[in-house]
Amino acid sequence: MTGAPVADGWQRLSPRMLLVHPVHEVMRQLPVLIGSLVLGSATGNPLWTVAGVALIVAYGLARWFTTTYRIGPEEVTLRTGVLQRSVLSVPRNRIRSVSTDARLLHRLLGLTVLRVSTGREATGDTVFALDAVPAGDVPRLRAVLLADSLPPQPSGRVLAAWQPSWLRYSPLTFTGLAMIAAAVGVISQSGLLRTLRDSAVLRAGEGAAQGLGVWGAVAVGAAVVLVASVVLSVTQSLLTYANLMLRRDGEVLHLSHGLLRVREHTYDMRRLRGGTLREPLLVRMFGGARLDAVMTGVAGAGEASQLLPPCPRTTAEAVLVDLIERPDAVTGTLTPHGPAATRRRWVRALALPVVASVGAGIAALTVGIGVWVWPVLMLLAAFSVFLAADRSRSLGHRAGGGWLVARSGSMQRRRDCVAAPGIVGWTVRQSWPQRRAGVATLVAATAAGTKRYEVLDVPADAAWTIAATTSPWLAATSWARD
Amino acid sequence: MTFAEPAHPPSAKAPLVWALGAAIPWAFAVLAQIVWFVLDGRLPWLHALAAVATLLGIVLFVVVVPMWRYRVHRWDLDPTAAYTRSGWLVQERRIAPISRVQTVDTYRGPLDRLFGLTNVTVTTASSAGAVRIVALDDPVAQQVVARLTDIAALGAEDAT
């Protein structure tokens, strides 16, 4: 069943959206709803409330009647808007990818949101989204929409499939902590804390804390936060990435994932310009990595470009090798950046503990400070030493064979592999300290991914050599000297 | 392999235009301080401190930086690429192949027009790859644009 056809090739979305739109509209227009509730109870006339709800529901219903789309021979067009009409047209040969997304309510009704992307970054009103079509129609629509730009591909093979064991990397993200911090913020803002203060639960907690003493209470508190953040992180990871499947059919890459809300992305492999292996420290410690695509028309950071969530590093590497067919770029040894770069890592990392120690020393001599400061300072210093050593070890690059590979970072270590044909410009940047140290940062500009890929602190005289080894056209310009 | 520096400096009027451009906001800062001093003359040491800070700022940004930038800024074209050097504290050398150029834009601000200067921006498909040739004399800029659009078969291909 396709949406009810209207005249002239125009089609409506699935009639089941008559159920979804009002519900979404009620959630979106919550202020109006609350306003009408307040008005209804204040005036003692419940008709106000009924009128408010009726208005919102009517608006939701009207959205279905006013939204139509047409898949024409040259372009696809979407007309939307109850009061403000807007028409969005996308030339069919410009369609680069089709992604789908189904939230819980949509899934229950067998519906899917279908987004069409042209490779340009679109936001807000300029996103071509059919919200929503029957899930059963998606393969047909996808084939029709991509027929012009991406001919049907032979069915391929699975590059990676989610395994429950991947969850072992998720307790090691800061997602859970961030969620707890956000929740605490909301609670303290809303004044809920004050009502909690007198509750029996909290009083029992206080009693227990007094029994444990200060350090005991701190330890228990830390353990509770840790366990809560682990549970939250794992749950979030399970909901988002369970059933992940990365499949390649010829020149098309399909990615689908999600337990309750299922998301599907289709990528045009011809737009792939490389990949980034990301190894956040906490994931790297357990041998994990994530994989991002470097692709034109796909934002370089965030969910849009993520091909694999934290998974075993060998899996991420194998998938990247499969995609770019260059094992040496993915796993090959890197040229280190030399002593000047290493010195800069150490100076930078140790600046903070040194300044803090000097400050603490002065404070200790003049006003006096607590004893606890010194162990904290020592921890900070030890961590900084580790950071400096790890950052120095990470730094490396590899050029030639049509690829640029650069690795850097410690907390967020990344290995960028970028194809030379995708590089549309080079920048050699030197700050004043870099000029003194004789190093430079080489920046490869590309239309794909994050748009700029940096090779940090290479020896200044090697910067142009790396660039020219990657992009041979540089050696043919009139400024190149042997 | 070594890479030669780009050959051509910007217009000789460039430091003057940059200095004027920087002087305008600083003039407002000076004016604000005079008003403050007239309205509330207490705390002379605070006024003196603010005046010294302003003076240092003016010397740095109106005198030193424009001259420094003029010494650094260079541009060059050859049949295959556009190449610039720019900056003062942080210096950049940037090169973009003309085959990948998407647009050639010119920009003339009010001060630029007063002194007959033009800024040329050569954009590529990457937001990190635009080559900016700033503060050229108008006739020079026209030649640069003509040469660039001549060489670059603009719109011939996707250039990503």
User: Given this model, what pLDDT does residue B28 score?
Assistant: 93
Of A431, A445, A482, the CB nearest to B89: A431
In A, which residues are within 8 Å of B4 by CB distance?
Answer: 479-481
DSSP state at residue A243: T
| CA-based nearest residue to A415, from A458, A453, A377, A358 | A453
Decide: A307 and A462 in contact? Cβ < 8 Å. Answer: no
Dihedral of CA A22/A23/A27/A30: which sign? positive
Subunit contact B92:A446, Cβ cutoff 8 A? no
In B, which residues are within 8 Å of A477 by CB distance?
Answer: 78, 80-81, 83, 95
User: Given this model, what pLDDT does residue B59 score?
Assistant: 95
- Does pLDDT of B154 surpass 80? no
ipTM score: 0.91
The verdict on B157 touching A (C-beta cutoff 8 Å) is: no
Of A451, A465, A481, the CB nearest to B128: A451
| Residue B96, both tokens | 């973009």
Q: What φ, ψ does residue A246 adopt, rounded to 5°? A: -115, 115
Q: Count Cβ–Cβ pairs < 8 Å, chain A vs chain B.
A: 105
Q: Is residue B3 part of a domain?
A: no
Subunit contact B95:A481, Cβ cutoff 8 A? no
DSSP assignment string, A33-102:
HHHHHHHHHHHT-THHHHHHHHHHHHHHHHHHHH-EEEE-SSEEEEEE-SSS-EEEEEEGGG--EEEEEE
Decide: A275 and A417 in contact? Cβ < 8 Å. Answer: yes
Subunit contact B126:A452, Cβ cutoff 8 A? yes
In A, which residues are within 8 Å of B159 by CB distance?
Answer: 424
The verdict on A235 touching B (C-beta cutoff 8 Å) is: no
Q: Is residue B1 part of a domain?
A: no
Cα separation, A62 vs A59, whole angstroms: 5
DSSP state at residue A126: G
In B, which residues are within 8 Å of A443 by CB distance?
Answer: 128
In B, which residues are within 8 Å of A425 by CB distance?
Answer: 94-97, 100, 124, 126, 128-129, 131
Each residue's pLDDT tens digit in chain A (482 positions)? Answer: 445 566 678 888 888 888 888 888 888 878 877 888 888 888 877 788 888 888 888 888 888 888 899 888 888 888 888 887 888 888 887 777 788 888 888 888 888 888 887 766 555 566 788 888 888 888 888 888 877 766 666 677 899 999 999 998 887 666 677 777 877 777 776 665 566 566 666 666 667 667 777 778 888 888 888 888 888 888 888 998 999 999 998 888 889 998 888 888 888 888 899 999 999 998 899 899 999 999 887 777 777 788 999 999 999 999 999 999 889 999 999 999 999 999 999 999 999 999 999 999 998 888 878 888 889 999 999 999 999 999 999 999 999 889 999 999 999 999 999 999 999 999 999 999 999 999 999 999 998 888 999 999 999 999 999 999 999 999 999 999 87
Cα separation, A55 vs A178, whole angstroms: 38
Q: For residue A204, how many other CB atoms are within 10 A of its CB?
A: 10
Cα separation, A295 vs A228, whole angstroms: 36
List, in sequence order, every beta strand (DSSP E) within chain B.
2-3, 74-77, 81-87, 91-97, 101-107, 117-124, 131-137
Q: What is the CATH number of the domain that holds B84?
A: 2.30.29.30
B40 plus B85 within the same structural domain:
no
Q: What φ, ψ does residue B16 adopt, rounded to 5°? A: -65, -45
User: Given this model, what pLDDT does residue A189 score?
Assistant: 67
In A, which residues are within 8 Å of B131 by CB distance?
Answer: 425
Convert B47-61 to b/e letters by CB count within 10 Å (16 or more is b): beebeeeeeeebeeb
In A, which residues are within 8 Å of B83 by CB distance?
Answer: 477, 479
Domain ranges within chain A, ordered by starting residue:
7-152, 338-393
Nearest residue on chain A to B7, judged by CA atoms? A479
The verdict on B78 touching A (C-beta cutoff 8 Å) is: yes
Dihedral of CA A312/A314/A319/A323: which sign? positive
Cα separation, A421 vs B99, whole angstroms: 12
Of B5, B92, B100, the CB nearest to A427: B92
The verdict on A422 touching B (C-beta cutoff 8 Å) is: yes
Nearest residue on chain A to B4, judged by CA atoms? A479
Subunit contact A429:B126, Cβ cutoff 8 A? no
d(CA A427, nearest CA chain B) in Å: 4
Subunit contact B125:A424, Cβ cutoff 8 A? yes
The verdict on A447 touching B (C-beta cutoff 8 Å) is: yes
The verdict on A452 touching B (C-beta cutoff 8 Å) is: yes
Of A430, A452, A477, the CB nearest to B81: A477
DSSP assignment string, A421-473:
GGEEEEEEEE-HHHHHHTEEEEEEEESBTTSEEEEEEEEHHHHHHHHHHH-GG
Nearest residue on chain B to A454, judged by CA atoms? B128
The verdict on A427 touching B (C-beta cutoff 8 Å) is: yes
Reduced to 3 states, what is the DSSP secondary structure of residue B131? strand
In B, which residues are within 8 Å of A465 by CB distance?
Answer: 1
The verdict on B64 touching A (C-beta cutoff 8 Å) is: no
B66 plus B78 within the same structural domain:
no
State which residues form the domain around B45.
14-70
Higher pLDDT among residues A120 and B99, named by residue: B99
| Residue A479, both tokens | 């400024």
d(CA B41, nearest CA chain A) in Å: 36
Cα separation, B134 vs B9, whole angstroms: 10
| Residue A276, both tokens | 């980034």
Tell me the helix, strand and coil percentages in chain B, rounded to 5: 50, 25, 25
Convert A253-282 to b/e letters by CB count within 10 Å (16 or more is b): bbbbbbeeebbbbbbbbebbbbbbbbbbee
Nearest-5° angle of CA A328, CA A334, CA A339? 175
Nearest residue on chain B to A295, judged by CA atoms? B160
B81 plus B30 within the same structural domain:
no
List, in sequence order, every beta strand (DSSP E) within A259-409.
262-268, 272-280, 288-295, 306-312, 396-400, 403-408
* Residue A465 to residues A434, B1, B46, Cα–Cα distance (Å): 18, 5, 53
User: Given this model, what pLDDT does residue A191 score?
Assistant: 62
Subunit contact B89:A432, Cβ cutoff 8 A? yes
Which amino acid is residue A111, in one-letter code? Answer: L
The verdict on A420 touching B (C-beta cutoff 8 Å) is: no
Dihedral of CA B137/B140/B144/B150: which sign? positive
Q: Is residue B2 part of a domain?
A: no
Cα separation, B40 vs B46, whole angstroms: 11
The verdict on A426 touching B (C-beta cutoff 8 Å) is: yes
B92 plus B57 within the same structural domain:
no
The verdict on B100 touching A (C-beta cutoff 8 Å) is: yes
The verdict on A215 touching B (C-beta cutoff 8 Å) is: no
User: How many domains does one find in chain B?
Assistant: 2
The verdict on A296 touching B (C-beta cutoff 8 Å) is: yes
**Terminal Cα distance for chain B, rounded:** 27
Q: Is residue B23 part of a domain?
A: yes
Domain boundary among B70, B87, B108: B70
| CA-based nearest residue to B73, from B65, B62, B83, B84 | B84
What residue spans of A125-246 are helical by DSSP H?
138-146, 175-190, 192-197, 200-241
| Residue A453, both tokens | 């890929």
Subunit contact A425:B129, Cβ cutoff 8 A? yes
User: Given this model, what pLDDT does residue A88 score?
Assistant: 85
Q: CB-side exposure of A452: number of CA atoms within 13 Å? A: 15
In B, which residues are within 8 Å of A296 by CB distance?
Answer: 125, 160
Peptide bond into A132 cis (omega under 30): yes
User: Given this model, what pLDDT does residue A214 score?
Assistant: 75
Subunit contact B1:A482, Cβ cutoff 8 A? yes
Of A143-152, A316-325, B116-125, B138-147, which gets the smallest average pLDDT?
A143-152
* Residue A200 to residues A196, A212, A467, Cα–Cα distance (Å): 8, 19, 67
CATH fold of A7-152, please? PH-domain like (2.30.29)
Subunit contact A432:B100, Cβ cutoff 8 A? no
d(CA B1, nearest CA chain A) in Å: 5
Residue appearing with tokens 């033009």: B118
